[in-house]
Structure 1
Amino acid sequence: MDYDRDAARLWRVCKTVRELVRDRGYAVSDDEINISLEDWKATYGRGGNIDKIGMTYVASLKDNPMESLLVFFTEDENVGIKPIKKIAERMVTNSIFKAIVVYQKNMTPSAKKVVTEMAPKYTIELFTEGELLVNITKHILVPDHEVLKDEEKKNLLERYRLRESQLPRIHHSDPIAKYYGMKRGQVVKIIRPSETAGKYVTYRYCF
């Protein structure tokens, strides 16, 4: 294990996760996102090891503090059913209905089965560390995305007299859809710069 390399990697992953959580409307401070590598290592690097249990946290929605999101970092390179069951038990005990699990490489079919069985009441989203090394929404070629609320989606369809099936589509496993936690049936507003109109707006339906 190369401690410095692994610490730098996980520091980047943690930064992206906190940005993702904030972009979904949860309370995350600038200090938490902009923590330096040295300060991060001082907090989570103990005795040459990275404290992934300490990296786990709960964030609350800014508009509804009673609604929380559990962010959990697994310790094992390959995740089996045991740690996923522990996460599920923690969610049930603490009435947390949404969680993000960040794992290193692989997750067993039995562990993924637990995630499926928890739905739809409990939502557990799975990300590998590699998916979170870089915040894809900050790439220069990625336009701004804004997930519409149910009322906004309804107004959009009524205004243009459209059915959901008539909108361009985005798959729920698309990296952008995953970043924002989009579910089937939701609509995302995409805002691109335009030389003639200032901005060009399109919409996509998540399927």
Structure 2
Amino acid sequence: AMEGLDRANRDDVSRMYRARKTMLKMMRARGYAVEFDDDEQDQVNWSLEAFLEHFGEDLNRRRLDFVSAKPEDVDDSIFVCFHDGEGKVSKNHIMEYVQKMQELKVKSGVLVSVGDLSPQGRDVIRDLTRTDFSLEHFKEEDVLIDITEHSLVPEHVVLTPRDKKALLDRYKLKLEQLPRILPEDPIARYFGLKRGQIVKVVRPSETAGRYVTYRVCL
């Protein structure tokens, strides 16, 4: 399917394929279901050929959008959208995505774009934090590879509220006593960590088999 494309197009298609694959994995890591009903197979493991076969000739970034829900709570859904175009993402573009979220009755969104946000676009996203809606932003170049698969990145597991309480009770800890992970840390952004959430970090250890630490997002 790639033969008919010139090199620039081939590179572009490859980037779309890789970015969408990372976003599917990212949502799965956050506990969202990324198996879609109409699938013959798991989209996360699609080959480039399967990706092209599914999206066909008329491939543009807007067609890569998807919505995922938490299996145990279908009301907790997230809309992942891909901005088509290389330029800055304007305030009006952001408003369009928020409108789409309203139509889909989804409160959380993640936007992936080739270009940066315009200052006004960034303001709109920041102002959303005062509403029921939230929109995260990733640049496409930052999601071409899945950072959690890098050999030097240890395994991270986000604690549920119940596990968080059990940990703090067991060790008689206050949140402030734990080592921190900043909200803008790439790993915190990958998991969509909110302030106050705790992540368990599991590293291989020569002596203990594995070495576990905890970090709080503050």
User: What TM-score comes out, normalization by structure 1 length?
Assistant: 0.93
Shift in Å, 1:204: 0.4
CA contact (8 A) 2:16 2:61 kept: no
| Among candidates 153, 157, 166, match of residue 142 of structure 1 | 153
SS at match of 1:66: strand
| Cα distance between partner residues in 2 of 1:56 and 1:152 | 33
Shift in Å, 1:45: 5.0
CA RMSD of superposed structures (Å)? 1.5
* Stretches of 4+ aligned residues off by more than 6 angstroms: none
| Cα distance between partner residues in 1 of 2:208 and 2:102 | 49
Between 1:177-186 and 1:24-33, the stretch displaced more is: 24-33
Residue number in structure 2 paired with 1:25: 31
1:164-183 → structure 2 map (5 Å cutoff): 164-183=175-194
Number of residue pairs aligned between Structure 1 and Structure 2: 205
Name the amino acid aligned to 1:204. R
1:68 aligns with 2:74: no
| Cα distance between partner residues in 1 of 2:50 and 2:172 | 53
| Among candidates 78, 85, 92, match of residue 95 of structure 2 | 85
| Cα distance between partner residues in 2 of 1:197 and 1:144 | 16
SS at match of 2:112: strand
User: What TM-score comes out, normalization by structure 2 length?
Assistant: 0.89
Residue number in structure 1 paired with 2:125: 115
CA contact (8 A) 1:45 1:51 kept: no
SS at match of 1:67: strand
| Among candidates 114, 117, 126, match of residue 137 of structure 2 | 126
Residue number in structure 1 paired with 2:62: 53
For structure 2, the residue ranges without an aligned partner over 5 or more in a row are: 1-6, 36-40
SS at match of 1:185: coil
Percent identity between the two aligned chains: 38
Change (3 A) 1:15 1:148: same
CA contact (8 A) 1:44 1:52 kept: no
Name the amino acid aligned to 1:114. V
| Cα distance between partner residues in 2 of 1:44 and 1:75 | 15
Name the amino acid aligned to 2:32. Y
